[in-house]
Amino acid sequence: MCTRVFNNSSAIKVVGRSMDWPESTRPRIVVNPRGLQRNGGMLGPIQVEKENPLQWTSLYGNVATSIYDLGSVDGINEKGLGVHGLFLTATKLPERIDDLPVLHMGLWAQYLLDCAATVTEALALMDGVQLMMVTAEGRDSSIHMAIEDASGDSAVIEFVDGERRIYHGSEYQLMTNDPAYSEQLALLAQQDFSHPSSDMPLPGNVNPRDRFQRASYYLNLLPAAESVQEAVAGVMAIVRNCSVPFGAPYKGFGIYNTEYRTVCDLTDRLYFFELSTSPSVIWVDLKKLDFSEGLPMTAIDPNSGFYNGDISADITEAAAVMY
């Protein structure tokens, strides 16, 4: 379970998300150069789609957080596109159309980071592919996707009852988990947070509905940022407020602690990462990275040591990620 918050009301466009999961997803921060050859039917070393897998060459360098070394669930590319996959129990994909190339859900985020510079381009890419559910580490890849770009544009894509639903517009700044997005918006409409005050009752539990409403309340309170530091700190504060403390239960789902939080500065191309078990925030400056074609993927494991501050120069480990 997770929360995504996009502050696009000032000149500096910043988006944050939390990753809530019952175990470690073994996250790694991966640098993906241009020119990588991808296969949308490969789940790690296993080819799960042999008949008609989507194949592409990455157009844009990007920094992504991988999950179980099988795909990406979050990231930003050099053009300022941000992508974030969040769990959605209600996910039900359409029936298979043989003529469409297949992209498994674990590579959905990576495909968009590799090939789209804007939200509009990302949405257009989805017209030519068919997503496929895969199971890894004992769980289905039931996700919906939030995307945004440096212009402030935003979209949420989900598949419910076998149909694709797209919510496209700068007003779609928030996303959590269940229920489906249309129901979340309807619930939010019942409580007007456009003029928040200290006397306004605020849902305080960890379930997706409460987190959605709490994020809306605090986003409407957020002052205009005058610097990158203020912009990043403002969104990070909201994401921390909507995080799940250790041991807090979800009804019917067990315990889903917040494992980490990320913030993307789409304007200045900065990617911040905060482990819940670490006292420090680390970040990557995409402007300092070499995304030249022909270079290998590199990665860093944020759990492997005590990192602090700008780690752009530390991402030198050969990536064993197989996608």
For residue range 248-276, what is the model confidence (pLDDT) as tens digits?
776 666 677 899 999 999 999 999 999 99
For residue range 108-143, what is the model confidence (pLDDT) as tens digits?
999 999 999 999 999 999 998 999 998 888 888 889
| Residue 323 domain-assigned (yes or no) | no
Residue 214, Cβ neighbours under 10 Å: how many? 22
Which residue in this structure is represented by tokens 């860093």?
Answer: 300
Considering the entire predicted model, what is its pTM? 0.94
For the chain, the distance separating the N- and C-terminal CA atoms, rounded to the nearest angstrom, is: 24
Whichever domain contains 183, its CATH number is 3.60.60.10
Structure tokens at 171: 């007003």
| Residue 64 domain-assigned (yes or no) | yes
Structure tokens at 192: 């007007």
In this structure, the chain runs to a length of 323
- Low-confidence stretches of the chain (pLDDT beneath 70): 250-254, 320-323
**What is the reported pLDDT for 21?**
87
| Residue 118 domain-assigned (yes or no) | yes
Q: What is the domain count for the chain? A: 1
**What is the reported pLDDT for 309?**
95
| Residue 247 domain-assigned (yes or no) | yes
**What is the reported pLDDT for 59?**
98
For residue 92, which phi and psi values (nearest 5 degrees)? -145, 115
Structural domain boundaries, residue 72: 2-318
| Residue 160 domain-assigned (yes or no) | yes
